[in-house]
Structure 1
Amino acid sequence: MLILNMRHLKQHLLKSLSLWILLGVWVSAGAQQADSLAGYLKEAASGNPGLKAKYSLYQAALEKIPQAGSLPDPEMQFSFFITPMELIAGNQLADIRVMQMSPWFGTLKAAKDEASKMALARYEEMLGVKNDLYLEVKTAWYQVFRIRKEIGITEKNLDLLKSLERMALIRFKAAGMGNSGQGGLVGLLRAQMEIGSLENRLALLGDQLKTSKVRFNSYLNRNKDSEVFVGDSLPEATLPGSTSILADSILNNPMIRMYEAEKAANESRVIMAKKMGYPMIGLGLNYSVIQQRPGATSMMNGNDMIMPMVTATLPIYRKKQIARQREAGYLRDAAGESAVDARNELTVSFQESMEQLKDAERRVELYNRQASLAEKSVSLLTSSFSTAGTNFEEILRMQQQLLDYQYKHIEAVVDRNTAIARLLSIISHN
């Protein structure tokens, strides 16, 4: 009976071990998973409130363009005399005056250019927020995948430990209370300790999964308890070119383009500020309503009068004009320096992400190889224990090592995909 039970446990144990490799994370171009992530990205782009807010700001900036390029509203003035004013040509009853002011030549064009380029800056800012959102969605999605894979590995290892526990219990009962029996009891207790640790980790992973799902769903602006589908394997993430080409693509980052657009907008603002220091010109017309006066001998008696008018402002207060030009110049310089600073920071981030990518790729291969060796070791030790009843402590130690390698392998794969997502975000390749 003991031999049959041991054989049954050995078969169950080896069957469990054979599933371990299937739990290793491999990278494949799974269409279902790719579509899943792409669908989530599309949903985030259309539903994220932060991104929609930036889109509204961009639309508001577009509406400033026709405002900036338009002339001021014309002025109309109407006045009348309570008692008609006696003139040679009759009695003046009222005056109607219309005036259109216009800024100096080229001022409106410069203002329109500034508004257009500032709208472009808001557009690039929106793309930058979208870029960051895509990175956050991908990172959160990868974390959900990692936690679910770790839950699967933990559950399989729990089954394995419980099989080892039953095996140790059978050995302990068969050995009795002798020295070998006491050793078997220690192994049994050790297995139960490991089981307790894994059950605690499983509970922690469950809590982490809930938190990760809430974070992911917040990016998509949907119910926090909505299910997140990740599949059994990660879609293959690749870079679109060589390292040197990617490094040159940093200039495509929306943040750099945003600052460059702001610099161009403020350059137009400098031109506008200079032209605002020149007079504004006004063209108008004055229409006087004349009533015919009895007894007047003038040939123009009763004829209304039309008088063209030209007016101009006198920008004599130069301090505010000079201050306006300096303000625009400082804003232009600030935007230019911000573009350089953003490029420098992105260059550092790019290099750090490349370093993380290479490290993750090395760890993927290392822990995949280590897990395979540890799995073989556990299988050999289990066979030895089932026949000779020795090395139980070594089985538990190696099983713990295997579990650690499996966790680290999953983490390395997720780190690799996250590093690639970060690189794609830096070069704005989404």
Structure 2
Amino acid sequence: MKINNPYIQKNFILILCTLFFTLSVKSQELQRLIEEALANNPEIQQFEMQFTIATEKVNEVNTIPNTEFSTGYFVSEPETRTGAQKAKFSVKQMLPWFGGISARENYATALSDAKYEDVVIAKRKLIASVSQSYYNLITIKDKQDILVINIDLLDTYEALALTSVEVGTASAVDVLKLQMRQNEMEQLQQILEQNYNAEQSLLNNLLNRTTSTNIVLTQELEIPFQDEITNSEDLVVHPELTKYDKIYHSVEQSELLNQKDAAPMIGFGLDYVIVQERPDMNFNDNGKDIFMPMVSLSIPVFNKKYNSKTKQNKLKQEEISFQKQDRKNKLKTALDKAISERNSAKISFNTQTKNLVQANNAEDILMKGYESGMLDFTQVLDIQELQLKFQMNQIEATKNYFIQSSIINYLSHHRND
């Protein structure tokens, strides 16, 4: 937003007041910064990596228990009819009950789905942070532009005051007052420069690039005539609430897995025994090795822990429902507050615009007094101070409007991920 002092360019403010209420389109410049932040921000990469790890866990659980191998050597060889047993080799494989592996996969998938919502939430927050920092930068830049115009205006007033001193219609005190006012302006200009550097550093950090990288600003903030319609129904699909739905679903899958874990496990195996031939005898099957297929069943007779897990899952579901409702209430409160403050910012802007027009009229009246040699520089300074105040308030109101808009966008926009 750029507002020039009416004494320098009298018609500019009227044109600008119209521009401020034209429909604002998201700038390509801001969109480019957002895309760069989403691609490079380390926090987003961290959440994406966590989601990738959670997804990989689906492959981790898609396995069956370890196959058991064992071997033994008979120190004291048991004698059988066909010979002495020398050694024994065994292999055994336990298998979960039907559907057990699928239940583990579904549970791991549900957890990864919930983790994905963290990525979506982090991206939304980053977009809001980049937008707000961008608006802050534009605000500081516009305030700097206003100060330059006002400092130039004070130079003009100083020249008029010096001329008036020469002809005896003003005193040296008027000149000193103008110069002190200029000093205050220059001080504020230096402070804004520091603020700009700090905000630019913050934005560069969000983009994960060198903090001193210069950000070129070409966008002007313009408050639109009509705001986008927003209501609490938009919160239904907000990722912070969708996450609770997915966590709830993961608990459901956890209970299904718990039921499968409470079922028996079946095992298959084979024992192989090496038998030594009896040298003093000659008959069929002398020294014949032993093969013994086996089937085993593991039954959780003491299933107290599974019953406890079922109760815990039910309690978790109730807890998640309460958490979701509490979060929904807080989001709705934040949305209502942002809408109210955005409306207040527009009201404030309109008021400051009216005040500025009246201050301009007062300035015109005072400046006409210069022609008759009756210019009161104290009043000129007071009016100039009011003009600067109203201009700064306009800029601040515009910033607040867009800051609240970024909060509303975070809370209400439908997901497009």
From 139, 144, 148, the equivalent of 1:155 is 148
| CA distance in 1: counterparts of 2:268 and 2:54, whole angstroms | 31
SS of equivalent residue, structure 1 residue 388: coil
Percent identical across equivalent pairs?
A: 22
Partner of 1:4: none
Alignment correspondent of 1:409: 394
User: How far did residue 338 of structure 1 move?
Assistant: 1.8
- The CA distance in 2 between the partners of 1:88 and 1:424, in whole Å, is 86
Higher alpha-carbon deviation: 75-84 or 350-359 = 75-84
2:110 to 111, 114, 117: 117
Residue 20 (structure 2) aligned to one of 22, 26, 45:
26
Q: In the aligned structure 1, how far is the partner of 2:225 from the partner of 2:307?
A: 53
Q: Choose from 343, 352, 357 the match for 2:328.
A: 343
What is the DSSP-based 3-state SS (H/G/I as helix, E as strand, rest coil) of the residue aligned with 1:56? helix
TM-score, scaled relative to structure 1: 0.86
How far apart in 2 are the matches of 1:374 and 1:323? 75
Check 1:412–1:297 CA distance in 2 against 1; reply closer, same or farther (3 A cut): same
Match of 2:373 in 1: 388
User: 1:92, 1:239 → 2: CA distance?
Assistant: 94
5+ long unaligned stretches in structure 2: none
Q: Comparing 262-271 with 129-138, which one deviates more in the overlay? A: 262-271
CA distance in 2 between counterparts of 1:90 and 1:27 reads 103
CA distance in structure 2 between the partners assigned to 1:127 and 1:236 by the alignment: 28
The amino acid of 1:79's aligned partner reads: G
Written as runs of structure 1 = structure 2, the 5 A alignment for 1:278-427 is 278-296=263-281, 299-427=284-412
8 Å CA contact retained: 1:286, 1:307: yes
> Retained in 2: the 8 A contact 1:23–1:153?
no
Q: Which has the higher helix share?
A: 1
Contact 1:254 1:428 in 2 (8 A): no
3-state SS of the aligned residue for 2:284?
A: coil
Which residue identity does 2:229 align to in structure 1? S
d(CA) in 1 for partners of 2:386 and 2:331? 38
Alignment CA distance shift 1:235-1:185 (3 Å):
closer
Q: Which amino acid aligns with 1:206?
A: E
CA RMSD between the two structures: 2.8
Partner of 1:53, secondary structure, is helix
CA distance in 2, matches of 1:144, 1:48: 19
Report which stretch shifted further, 35-44 or 301-310: 301-310
Q: Quick one: structure 1 residues 23 and 147, their matched pair in 2 at CA, closer, same or farther if it must change by over 3 Å?
A: farther
- Normalized against structure 2, the TM-score is what? 0.89
Give the corresponding residue for 2:54: 61
Q: Do residues 126 (structure 1) and 113 (structure 2) align?
A: no
Report the Cα offset of residue 187 of structure 1: 2.8
Asked whether the 8 Å contact 1:239–1:420 carries over to 2, the reply is no
CA distance in 2, matches of 1:133, 1:429: 16
Length, aligned pairs only: 410
Q: 1:189 to 1:235 in 2, by over 3 A?
A: closer
Aligned partner letter, 1:149: D
Aligned to 1:219: 206
Matched, 1:194 2:194: no
Q: Partners in 2 of 1:82 and 1:27 — Cα distance?
A: 97
CA shift for structure 1 position 379: 3.2
1:219 Cα offset (Å): 0.9
2:129 maps to what in 1?
A: 136
Task: Report the CA distance between 1:386 and its aligned residue.
Answer: 4.2
Between the aligned partners of 1:112 and 1:406, the Cα distance in structure 2 is 61
- Residues 68-79 of structure 1: pairs in structure 2 closer than 5 A: 68-79=61-72
**Residue aligning to 1:42:** 35
Task: Specify the SS of the correspondent of 2:8.
Answer: helix
Q: Distance in 1 between matches of 2:6 and 2:403?
A: 35
Structure 1 residues 386 and 86, CA gap change in structure 2 (3 angstroms): farther
Deviation at 1:29, TM superposition (A): 7.1
1:243 aligned counterpart, secondary structure: coil
The verdict on how the C-alpha distance between 1:241 and 1:18 changes in structure 2, with shifts beyond 3 A counting, is closer
Q: Describe the shift of the 1:316–1:97 C-alpha distance in structure 2 as closer, same or farther (beyond 3 A).
A: same
Give yes or no for contact 2:139–2:395 (8 Å, CA) kept in 1. Answer: yes
Deviation at residue 375 of structure 1 after TM alignment:
2.7
Whether contact under 8 Å (1:171, 1:389) holds in the other structure is no
